Amino acid sequence: MVEVRLESVSKRFGRVVALHEVTLTFEDGSFTAILGPSGSGKTTLLYLIAGIYKPSSGRIYFGDRDVTNMPPNKRNVGLVFQNYALYPHMTVYDNIAFPLRLKKLPRDEIDRRVREVAKLLHIEELLERYPSQLSGGQQQRVAMARALVKQPDVLLLDEPLSNLDALLRIKIRAELKRLQKDLGITTIYVTHDQSEALALADRIVVIDRGRIQQVGTPDEVYARPRNLFVAGFIGSPPANLIPAKIVARSGSACVAIGDTVYCPDKPLSEKLARFQEVIVAFRPEHATLGEEPAENMVSIEAEVYTVETLGKENIVTLLVGATPVKVVVEPSVRPQPGSKLFINVEPEKLMFFDPETELNIEYIEV
């Protein structure tokens, strides 16, 4: 268990800047998800912490120790690769024992620790099998066991569940969360799946194109996305984004979304007054549909485009002008494509972004 700290860490591969000036602290015993799309620098970040890569600039600390130039085998990290990378010619037992044999631990201690971690991950029955004789979920547990058997200070997981089917992912994800809490190992979990990050982590680091976009609890990144990228990446479906104009009404700044004009109170109206245009955002699950504008709501007229029936809910796509907007509704709500409806949103659920900097104006100081 240890605190991991990155100070202004950059990593370049020739001309490609894979990570740009990343400064981050992973608290002792915390569970952090690194969330971003393909190519955003997630694996690079993990390999820098593991010591597989050296930073082009910046420093990395484990507690008080500067590990920037320390080789991987000295760092006591457990790493689970995306493809598990089990040794195919070794049994499960030997795969798990491998890191301990490298350390030349006594035979009986190796045996004790292998059996202990196998029990923890419910794979005691599989110890004599070869990786090819295991299901994906079982291989995943073996890879996890091999990382944990070293009793690492830091556990690094690179999309460990991405090869599993949806049901198994949800099952293992819950077990993983419990295991991490029980063991208390500082854990860094890489994923491109926002629902996985929200479900698992105490804290989420959202990354795009090598730059950190936001660091926050699952609640914070969901409720107060720092910029348009985070708003459009978190949530399923992600937040709706509608271009709008700022207009003056009796001396204060209001937002015109199509024919709808919404006039917020201070301090929001003061912030809005600096813009000519903004992007209005709200989450599909925060809106309702009605034949009429609803009282005390912001009501936006729209035309129904399609309805997707998902069993526990429906997703209605509507057009506001030319902009598609999604609203999550009860399974019984199935409006006719082509019909006109009002999208009703509580004003508190609206978010506003600067179209140029893409920042949430909530984060702008007045």
Smallest CA-to-CA distance from 268 within 154, 157, 348, 172 is with 348
Smallest CA-to-CA distance from 252 within 271, 237, 231, 234 is with 271
> Closest separation between CB of residue 24 and ligand ATP, Å?
15
Report the Cα–Cα distance between both ends of the chain, in Å, rounded: 41
DSSP secondary structure code for residue 335 in this structure:
P
User: Which of the listed partners (ligand ATP, Mg ion, none) does 39 bind, with a CB threshold of 5 to 8 Å by partner kind?
Assistant: ligand ATP
Tell whether residue 13 is a contact of ligand ATP (CB under 6 A). yes
Tell whether residue 191 is a contact of Mg ion (CB under 5 A). no
User: Which of the listed partners (Mg ion, ligand ATP, none) does 36 bind, with a CB threshold of 5 to 8 Å by partner kind?
Assistant: ligand ATP
**Residue 191 or 360 having the CB closest to Mg ion:** 191
CB 320 within 8 A of CB 289: no
Give the other-Cβ count within 10 Å of 303's Cβ. 14
User: Which of the listed partners (Mg ion, ligand ATP, none) does 250 bind, with a CB threshold of 5 to 8 Å by partner kind?
Assistant: none
Residue 308 and residue 328: Cα distance in Å, rounded?
Answer: 10
Q: Contact letters (x/-) for ligand ATP, 184-203, by CB under 6 A?
A: --------x-----------
Tell whether residue 44 is a contact of Mg ion (CB under 5 A). no
Residue 132 and residue 47: Cα distance in Å, rounded?
Answer: 27
The kind and range of the H/E element at 50 are helix 42-50
Phi, psi angles (nearest 5°) of residue 182 = -65, -45
Given 26, 41, 93, 172, the residue binding ligand ATP (CB under 6 A): 41
Residue 238 and residue 102: Cα distance in Å, rounded?
Answer: 46
> Closest separation between CB of residue 300 and ligand ATP, Å?
35
> Closest separation between CB of residue 139 and ligand ATP, Å?
19
Beta bridge partners of 205: 34, 215
Given 32, 43, 227, 240, the residue binding ligand ATP (CB under 6 A): 43
Given 30, 32, 40, 43, the residue binding Mg ion (CB under 5 A): 43
Distances 346 to 281, 293, 298, 343 between C-alpha atoms, Å: 12, 12, 6, 10
Binding to ligand ATP, residues 270-329 (CB under 6 A): none
Tell whether residue 55 is a contact of ligand ATP (CB under 6 A). no
> Closest separation between CB of residue 210 and ligand ATP, Å?
7
User: Which of the listed partners (ligand ATP, Mg ion, none) does 364 bind, with a CB threshold of 5 to 8 Å by partner kind?
Assistant: none
Residue 161 and residue 159: Cα distance in Å, rounded?
Answer: 6
Tell whether residue 344 is a contact of ligand ATP (CB under 6 A). no
Q: Which residues in this chain contact Mg ion in the complex, by CB under 5 A? A: 43
Q: Which residues in this chain contact ligand ATP in the complex, by CB under 6 A? A: 13, 16, 18, 36, 38-44, 192
